[in-house]
Amino acid sequence: MFKPLLPILALTLAAPAFADPDASEGEANFKKCKSCHSIIAPDGTEIQKGGKTGPNLWGVVGRAVGSAPDFKYGDGILAANAKGVVWDEAQIVTYLADPAAWVKAATGNAAAKSKMTFKLPKTEDAEDMAAYLATLK
């Protein structure tokens, strides 16, 4: 009676519901971000040579949102900063899926806008990207 259940159980255990985030995939995918973002370490090392339309993403995981020095952020993300929101990987995954929706949710203001319009809609890609950004500190 119980025997037929065992193979099913084994299969369930062998197949994890979610893939582990892969930082190296995120690094490879950063080419999508480079037109607007660079990653420059505090000692000036250029880890990703890119544009300046968006802020330097060095150390972004763990820092207050909208807090890179010398970058002119939009009012929406600055309002989230004023609320004390700090980037963690989960917030970055949500942000990358839809930055405008994230800013509205984080500020509680349906009229809040994001200066970043680019989206990374696939959750797996966004998770890999967040894992990559978390290594840069």
Rounded to a whole number of angstroms, the CA Rg of the chain reads: 18
Residue 36, interface with ligand HEC (CB under 6 A)?
yes
| Full 3-state SS string of the chain | CCCCHHHHHHHHHHCCCCCCCCHHHHHHHHHHCCCCCCEECCCCCEEECCCCCCCCCCCCCCCECCCCCCCCCCHHHHHHHHCCCECCHHHHHHHHHCHHHHHHHHHCCCCCCCCCCCCCCCHHHHHHHHHHHHCCC
- Print the binding letters for residues 90-119 with ligand HEC: x by CB under 6 A, - otherwise: --x--xx-----------------xxx-x-
Residue 12, interface with ligand HEC (CB under 6 A)?
no
Q: Within 39-58, which residues bind ligand HEC (CB under 6 A)?
A: 53-55, 57
Q: Which residue is nearest to ligand HEC (CB)?
A: 33
Cα–Cα distance, 29 to 37 (Å, whole number): 13
CB nearer to ligand HEC: give 19 or 132. Answer: 132
We find the least distance from the C-beta atom of residue 20 to ligand HEC, in angstroms, to be 19
Residue 131, interface with ligand HEC (CB under 6 A)?
no
Residue 79, interface with ligand HEC (CB under 6 A)?
no
Q: Which residues bind ligand HEC (CB under 6 A)?
A: 32-33, 35-37, 53-55, 57, 60, 65-66, 68, 73-74, 76-77, 92, 95-96, 114-116, 118, 120, 129
